[in-house]
Structure 1
Amino acid sequence: MQIPKNTTDMIESLKKASSLFLILFLASVSLQAQALKNVSLEDVFKKNTFAQKSVYGINWMKDGKYYSSQVNRGGFPTVVKINVTTGAEEAVLLDGRALGLNFSSYSFNSDESKALVATDVESIYRRSTKGIFYVVDMATGEKQQLMNGEKISYATLSPDNDKVAFVKDNNLYLVELATNQTTQITKDGEWNKIINGAADWVYEEEFSMSQAFSWSPDGKKIAFIRFDETDVPEFNMQLWGPLYPADYRFKYPKAGEKNAEVSIHVYDLASKNIQKVDAGSEKDIYLPRIYWTKDANQLAFIRLNRLQNKLDLFHANATTGSSKLILSEESETYVDLDYNDNLQYLSDGKSFIRTSEKDGYKHIYHHGMDGSLIRQITSGAWEVTELVGVDEKNKKIYFVSAEASPLERNFYVIDFSGKNKKTLTPLAGTHRINMSPDHRFFIDYYSTTEMPQIVTLHESSGKLLKSLEENEELKERLQSFALGKKEFFTFSTVDGTALNGYVIKPADFDPNKKYPVLMYVYGGPGSQNVLNSWGGARDFWHQALVAEGYIVACVDNRGTGARGRDFKHATYANLGKLETIDQIEGAKYFAKQSYVDSSRIGIWGWSYGGYMSSLSLMIGNDVFKTAIAVAPVTTWRYYDTIYTERYLQTPQLNPSGYDDNSPISHVNKLKGNFLLIHGTGDDNVHFQNSVDLVDALIAADKQFETFYYPNRNHGIYGGNTTWHLYSMMTDFLKRKL
């Protein structure tokens, strides 16, 4: 008998069929299910089977009707001009083949008469790079090489289009394009001593900045930050490979140690004078942001004290250097610095918009230029996560928030008055927004746990204009795999705290079986793993484990983001304590489930997650059997000043906060299976962390497994590394969980 094609016929046929047919039919369905492929390590890390497509390199053009995008044609980069409303390609703006340049990035000046392109770019640290830069005349196609092809950093065209400023060898430079004449603005720059116009290691890592200079709106001045790191202690890493391994020394201020002394200066192009800006008499401070207001002679800057519990906004006269305190915000814990640069000065020169979590949740505020509060624009028990755009003409503000749920990100618009809030992306999931400068259009990068990224173009009203990428090929491939569904859940700990989590069960999950559980954790302040968005390679490694018969789960502990200041700041001065309690509570929650083998619960994490997995196995030795820690912090005494002291104060002020929850202090409690992994070239969480933990484990007579990756940094990648790492972790879990 043939299997019916539609559901109605199938139901009728089944009603009429004998019980024997029903048995045969169910067997057939089972065989079809078995025909679906399991996710393999090769699929994830060698074949890139689950890599999703996106729309990259979009730069909005000045008239708002077009955007430019970089594509690859014939092995050469090409920048094309796209009509926003039709999606049609209307011109080739930059042709790498014709220019003879294999550039990796580009930018246009304000009137789009010139382009700045970079070739041979090499990374320095997480955000810093250097490369060979060219200025291309868009009318003639002629290119002009900067600094005779020497590698430079942060090349930036002036607003008047005549000059380019950049950093080389820790000094700030300027080149006149008409004459190709180069001026060295600063002359005291020196490796591991003085940096002008670029961030030091710790500012780059923890304040999300690398370029530390900015043109004035009229192009007549350059403001820059100077770092004097002479007295900052050096960290030394050995680079393995040559006959005699090389030493790499760089300035890294560990918690409680000396920071660089920072100062703000303004270079006047006409007088060639450098004016220091008054930032106060206190030297042990942070100056993490400089902004030009709409007044070409008025500079704004943010000052934080060493403990980061007081944030001051100043306005300064760029000619005299005198400054005035505009507003100040203090906290018993720490004041959150907006890494998205959610501070925007309005063109009327009378006010500015910023975000703050001073009322318990991050919201948008409107201030006069004297700092007075005009209005709190958004409010409620939810977080604004990004200020996307301020449309001054129509008095509207565009932002992303977690109002619908901490697990969601949606795009909204609201009036300056704080009224008429509207959702522009109503579909549940995670929306990442790229909005045109004139606020007429936006591109939405949207995904959920069950749907790969869809990229769409919209009018500012939310009206869909065009689909740019739907990942149909990936969706088609996914149909042939047996994937576990990511299910969200919430549970309450013994003290009544509600925690969000997700669980991934095997596609052929049988509630009558007992499964081992592997928990995945990061857990650091403000982070979030439990989010309704499509995952990357790590998520599909979890799917490969699920295909092997594991359940994978994740719990966002106290201290994580999108749930307000109190939830995030709960871990202040005691990092690791509440987070570990919550991960153990999560394990106990799963241990109670009828389908879980409570004797086989494991946990793994990377970086802060490695710190958490180590502590969880040691302190929670009665619930966790196995843990993997990749590149973990093992004592906060070894981590940097800015991040660590923000959450723990200094070790001099709070020694117990550093030591009580260090895995090194809990090695005697280790009972289960422990795998410790680290890269010897980790400039961020130093290999020293794992060396000291190993030493303590040896002293405590504890057996464990460990593996190091020579010269690999914090991300542990390159060549065959990622495949090797995840293969090893998979093998360990099969043996030990």
Structure 2
Amino acid sequence: MRKSPLLLPIVFLLCHFSFLLAQNKQLSLEEIYDGTFSVEGLDKLRSLKNGKQYTILSVDKATATSSIQKYDYKTQNKLETIVSSSSSVPYFTSYEFSEDESKLLLATSVEPIFRRSTLGYFYVYDLKSKKISAVSNSKIQEPSLSPDGSKVAYVQNNNIFVWDIATNYTKQLTLDGVKNKIINGITDWVYEEEFAFVKAFEWNSDGSKLVFIRFDETDVPEFSVDVYGSNLYQTQTIFKYPKAGEVNSEVSLHIVDMDTYHISQVDLDDPYYIPRIKWMNDPHFLSVQTLNRHQNNLRLYAVNAINNKSNILLEETDEAYVSVADDLTFLADDSFIWTSEKDGFKHIYLYNVEGKLMNQLTKGPWEVSKFYGYDQNEDLFYYQSTENGSINRDVYSVGSNGENRRRLTTKAGHNAADFSADFTYFINTYASATNPPEYTLHNSLSGKKIKDILYNRALISKLDNYRINPKEFSTIAINGNDLNMWMIKPKNFDATKKFPLFMTQYSGPGSQKVSNSWLDTNDYWFQMLANEGYIVVCVDGRGTGYKGAEFKKVTYKELGKYEVEDQIAAAKKLSELPYIDESRTGIWGWSYGGFMSTNCLLKGNDTFEMAIAVAPVTSWRFYDSIYTERFMRTPQENPSGYDENSPFNYPELLKGNYLLVHGSADDNVHLQNTMRMVEALVQANKQFDWAIYPDKNHSIKGGNTRLHLYTKMTNFIKENL
């Protein structure tokens, strides 16, 4: 008899893990959201250039003390404390070495601006003289030591400055920076959020030149956020935010000659976006990536920094979009590594210095998830991939001819490597759904383990007292695809009984939530719900990542169509299981996941009885240009794609119980989304529950906020499912 394709369980059990045995202590929301179950790690690990030693940051927040410790790779012995906070050295939370490792840049009193951008005080510590000096008396952004450690470039008030350490002289390089108009060397809001970088300047290899991107956001529409605070009148934060179809910043690329401080502009054929800049090893040559507005044509330029002439090294086009990655790596002769999805899966390609393809290094129906680097002595390239299944990650090596591929990690789960500078060793971080992160030292050629470094034994011991139920990984056949899925069943599960189904998902393009990795904070919440008698399930539908370009890009121009169809179909199929109560099905999500849960409750009103949406997009017309247009083009070009899956256009479909939550100061997914959804439901005379968290951004946290939010959601689930 042929077995049903519904569930093909692959349950990852760890035999030595006593916490998987029956335990009695119930998880509490207070413990989940106060950091009780946080993991230990090797914070800000840096390999020294000799390849024999590495450093890590040690921080004690309780005592506000920090230090940088040096360790020997081979013996794992601690060699010395390089620097520690003291009366002369302020408490620091981050560090960077200069290229020659003669100096350290220490970050203190760092405060966030948006998701990735920060302001802070910074100091340079001279490792030889033990002298410490402040870079600036004011808070600055993105300081960067020159390769020889003699200068620091940074941004303040949208202008670039260079501080000469020896002379204590600061030179202002740009003069036209104005808030909400001109930005030099720092990305605007939408680049920071969607191209995932903040520092838009970079030293060349000998420190003779500095390249930077200039953003002219004068014509970009403004968005404002009220901050209520505790004073009599609220304040207002105003920033430039280009929504889909609106005007974006005009960008231009400039090079500073550090001998003369002369600034010249690079001609790049009027690029719409400049998502990446990177100097080659030759100090006279720069690489620049540009994108058109549709993001389906990416060009990699080589720029001669002497005459500012440029030529195209490589060009990629796609019917949907081309993804920007951080894998571009220049080898000693400036031949380079490039990753691409052009054969249907993300793989590694080797090009010569002129941009001619030399070889495709990896190939197959799996994805390269990270490129680590090249060992020239052994002619080996190192990377991470999904060759052992899309929910897993392993570390591999391969020769420049694309042969002799070797798997260097052995345990199923998530493996990630930090290589020594000379590629003799790598520190492997391994975790799975049943194994918290552990750190081990390995030989890079063979993958053989040399030493254990760190195990989260304290966490293992702590969890030994709690009811923790293993995730059951499987696939579910939906709409012609085998979708990855995990399920958590209640402790002491009885298949003769019926249980309510609670679905969690994110579903955004290229994302992954079904992963054989260690528990994040929400996973503990799902464990708690399972122990309350719910079956918790996560399904990664069409549009999610690590299963090839076709699977990911099927949602192009139709965000919220196929993903919603898959969640509804999955819920219906799961309800056929004898132990699922089909009359009690709920779904929740945050951000894109909130967009999804709202649509599922409305379009699947015969399937879902309850939904929670936190900080949801309710119309892609309200979201930013770079993200939205990448997947949808502009509203002017694709109006039906925007409107047919916008939930406030069909509020009359609401039948189930709905909880809508947002932070009032969300600079990312604006409160506007929730307000429009609320108004639509009110005018349709539909009852629902909602909550606004004052002055909270997209993450909705701070103080007791997370505890309050998850208490509210837990109570809503218990009352309505």
Does 2:227 align with 1:249? no
Asked if residue 666 in structure 1 is aligned to residue 677 in structure 2, the reply is no
Map 1:514-663 onto structure 2 (within 5 A): 514-663=498-647
1:329 aligns with 2:313: no
> Quick check: 670-679 or 84-93, which moved more?
84-93
Q: CA deviation at 1:35?
A: 6.0
1:66-105 to 2 correspondences below 5 Å? 66-72=53-59, 75-97=64-86, 99-105=88-94
Partner residue of 1:174 out of 143, 156, 162? 162
Look up the match of 1:19.
Answer: none
1:34, CA displacement in angstroms?
7.6
1:45-95: per-residue Cα shift (whole Å, max 9, x none)?
24x332222221211112111111111366411111111111111111012
Trace 1:35-434 onto structure 2 (pairs within 5 A).
36-46=24-34, 48-72=35-59, 75-97=64-86, 99-147=88-136, 149-241=137-229, 242-281=231-270, 285-338=272-325, 341-349=326-334, 351-434=335-418
Amino acid aligned to 2:114: Y
Q: Give me the whole-angstrom Cα distance separating, in 1, the residues matched to 2:22 and 2:144.
A: 57
> What amino acid is the match of 2:233?
Y
- Is contact 1:615–1:666 with CA below 8 Å preserved after alignment? no
State the Cα deviation string for residues 317-374 of structure 1 (Å, max 9, x = none).
1122211111111111001111xx100111123x111100000000000112221111
CA contact (8 A) 1:483 1:506 kept: no
Once the 2 structures are TM-superposed, how far is the Cα of residue 245 of structure 1 from its aligned partner? Answer: 0.7
- What's the secondary structure of 1:624's corresponding residue? coil
Counterpart position of 1:485: 470
Q: Which residue of 2 aligns with 1:23?
A: none
Instruction: Supply the AA of the counterpart residue of 1:489.
Output: S
- For 2:123 and 2:527, the matched residues in 1 are separated by 45
Match of 1:698 among 659, 682, 698: 682
What one-letter code is carried by the residue in structure 2 that aligns with 1:478? L
Aligned pair in 2 of structure 1 residues 35, 343: CA closer, same or farther (>3 Å)? closer
1:711 to 681, 695, 708: 695
8 Å Cα contact 1:170-1:191 kept in structure 2: yes
TM-score of the superposition, structure 2-length normalised? 0.95
- Scaled by the length of structure 1, the TM-score of the pair is 0.93
Once the two structures are superposed, residues 23-43 of structure 1 have per-residue CA deviations (whole angstroms, 9 ceiling, x without a partner) of xxxxxxxxx988621222233
Count residues in correspondence: 698
Compare 695-704 and 459-468 and name the one that shifted more: 459-468
**Deviation of 1:98 (Å):** 5.1
In 2, distance between residues paired with 1:252 and 1:199?
A: 12
- Which residue of 2 is the match for residue 435 of structure 1? 419
Residue number in structure 2 paired with 1:509: 493
Q: Give, in whole Å, the separation in 1 of the partners of 2:74 and 2:359.
A: 36
- 8 Å Cα contact 2:512-2:545 kept in structure 1: yes
Change (3 A) 1:327 1:34: closer
CA distance in 1, matches of 2:93, 2:66: 7
Q: Match for residue 720 of structure 2?
A: 736
Give secondary structure in 1 for the equivalent of 2:650: helix
Q: How far does residue 465 in structure 1 lie from its aligned partner after superposition? A: 2.1
Q: Which amino acid aligns with 1:311?
A: L
**What is the rounded CA distance, in whole Å, between the counterparts of 1:451 and 1:559 in structure 2?**
28
**1:118-164 alpha-carbon deviations (Å, 9 max, x no partner):** 111111111111111111111121111112x2111111110122111
Query: Which whole-Å deviations, capped at 9, do the CAs of 1:486-509 have from their partners, x for residues lacking one?
Result: 00111212x322211110001110
Q: In 2, are the aligned partners of 1:485 and 1:507 still within 8 Å (CA)? A: no
Whether the 8 Å CA contact 2:59–2:93 is kept in 1: the answer is no
Computed over aligned residues only, the root mean square deviation of the Cα atoms, in angstroms, reads 1.3
| 1:464 aligned partner, one-letter code | K
The amino acid that maps onto 2:464 is Q
- Report the identity percentage: 47
Q: SS of the residue aligned with 1:342? A: coil
Q: Name the stretch that deviates more: 72-81 or 101-110.
A: 72-81
Q: In the aligned structure 2, how far is the partner of 1:447 from the partner of 1:171?
A: 43
CA 1:465–1:621 in 2, change beyond 3 Å: closer, same or farther? same
Aligned residue for 1:22?
Answer: none
Change (3 A) 1:306 1:35: closer
- Hey, what's the Cα distance between the residues in 2 that align with 1:43 and 1:175? 46
What is the distance in 1 between the residues matched to 2:485 and 2:532? 22
Post-superposition Cα deviations, 1:248-276, rounded to whole Å, max 9, x if no partner, equal: 10000000000000011000011221110
Moved more, 388-397 or 271-280: 388-397
Cα distance in 1 for partners of 2:95, 2:31 equals 33
CA distance in 2, matches of 1:479, 1:170: 52
Deviation per CA, 1:288-309: give whole Å up to 9, x if none. Answer: 1111112211111001000000
Structure 1's 35 and 178: CA in aligned 2 closer, same or farther, altered over 3 A? closer
Radius of gyration: which is bigger? 1
Secondary structure of residue in 1 paired with 2:377: coil
Q: Answer whether contact 2:274 2:288 (CA < 8 A) is retained.
A: yes
**5+ residue gaps, structure 1:** 1-31
1:175, CA displacement in angstroms? 0.9
Q: Deviations over 1:594-634 (max 9, x none)?
A: 00000001000000000000000000000100000000000
Residue identity matched to 2:296: N
* Higher relative contact order, structure no. (Cα contacts within 8 Å, ≥ 6 residues apart): 2
| Residues 275 and 319 in structure 1, CA contact (< 8 A), matched pair in contact too | no
Per-residue CA deviation, residues 79-117 of structure 1 (Å, 9 max, x unaligned), is: 111111111111110121153311111111122211111
Alpha carbons of 1:111 and 1:33: their partners in 2 closer, same or farther (altered >3 Å)? closer
Aligned with 2:670: secondary structure? Answer: coil
TM-aligned CA deviation for residue 432 of structure 1: 2.0
**Counterpart contact for 2:121–2:140, Cα < 8 Å:** yes
- Cα contact 1:275–1:320 (8 A) shared by 2: no
- Residue 111 of structure 1 aligns to which amino acid in structure 2? D
